[in-house]
A and B are shown apart, each in its own frame.
Chain A
Amino acid sequence: MTVTTEEQPAKPESRRKIKIAKVAEFPPGTRVEVAINRVRIAVFNIGGSYFAMWGRCPHQFAPLSRGRLQGTVVCNAETNWETKWAHEGEVVVCPGHGMEFDVRTGKAFGYTTRVKTYDVVVENGDVVLLM
């Protein structure tokens, strides 16, 4: 018996859309903090691309969304085990205890944990968060 896999029909867009800001008012290197009910989400513009992540640190729930943006130190096989500064402007540092998260992926540097990330799209000149 041959088993065939049929393509699933595309699901209708059921995610909630939340307008964050006008593109013109949200330049690269800045962020917008959004409170949706009691959920805090940080939306970042990094070099013209938008990234959204959960705004609380998984460690002790400090306001990660207000952490400063910087780079970080990396040292791995890719850098030939040399210590290098990298990811400038793409790392948010928790103001509580200094945990660092990659804004693009939500992954914590030096940990196996990550924070939830959300999709962001631009529609009709608006930056829109999809939840």
Chain B
Amino acid sequence: MLFPSGHHPSSAPRVVITGAGIVTSLGIGWETNAEGFRLGRVALKPVTLFDVSRQRVKIAGEVTLPDSLPSMQLDARQESRLDRATKLLLLAAHEAWQQSGWKLCAHLPVVLGTTSGGMGMGEAYYRQALNTPQDHRHQPSRVIQYQAQNQALTLTEAFGFSGPINIIANACASGANAIGHAWELLRRGACERLLAGGYDAISQLVFAGFDSLQALSLTQCRPFDAHRDGLALGEGAAILTLETLDCAQQRGAHILGEIVGYGAALDTHHLTQPHPQGDAALASMTAATRIAGLTPGDIDYINAHGTGTPMNDVAEANAINRWAGDRSVTLPVSSTKSSIGHLLGAAGSVEAVICLMALREQWLPPTSTLQVVDPTCAFPVVQKPTSAKVEYALTNSFGFGGANASLIMRRWS
């Protein structure tokens, strides 16, 4: 039963990460991405997926997909029909699955975050429906592929397991909410392991949308810079295999890290603009630290939402200043959106994996495009590749509609 769930542990189990897969414009897989984020490489390039000639901005963090996917349990027909978003999702899931050492299992919940599912398919459907209304070729397939639940079902078929499937669409906080919700499911004993993360592919509608809002940078995405002028869009996916500590230890799994806190709050200030003082961000960070039994003094690094828009960064900086208090002046913060852009529904999960990299490899990813730090930032913004002792890392994700989420991860040693 989903409710009431049968097993209620007397104390919430610890939740560990045993596999992590990541796909961004920096590349596919942990190694390539870790190297890129450690050095602060920028992987933004001219958009090739659709016509941007009439857009104000013409670059984004496009992923270069491989010619073929790794071997999974999909037949050739299924594989030939996969849309871009599903490919990103499967690539990330494959890496996480391999890393976890999981074998086939019947029951495995999935929690995914996305903002637009297979929007590219929806766009193709609309164009054909409008331009050649009597022509239905390929249209049924597009209808199916467009839907986020189909991408999740494809994931279950690719790895041979059965859900349940939960898809959270909380705009750009979706990926963080998905991991946070998965963490809560494990802690309340709903299951012993599950797959969680986020994915989104760049689509014309979303690109045009952010451009219409004049939210895209006309120069270079520079989070927390005093002269920042907007964000860059990107695409990608990150998937984590999560399990209870007991479950992981019983099977002798290699543990990558631990999730220790999650907080979520809603900003009702405006549909697209955060409260200038970052009230909801403060609430989500406070909730995450409280449930983790930590204080801001325990956190060694924050991977900020840091989109590079004037409004987001000042609100987030205010929230971090208020949350951290005196600790602000020594608490390293950076935004990796300078490297890969804003991955929307994938952002929270990708940035969780970046935190995991920082925890495992003991470095801080720089915001390498930063030139002049915004004076609102009471904290040091990491600008250059930096080695550091990192025991706890916090990542923030905020989205349209006021969705705010914070995750805290701990180094596994």
Partners in one complex: no
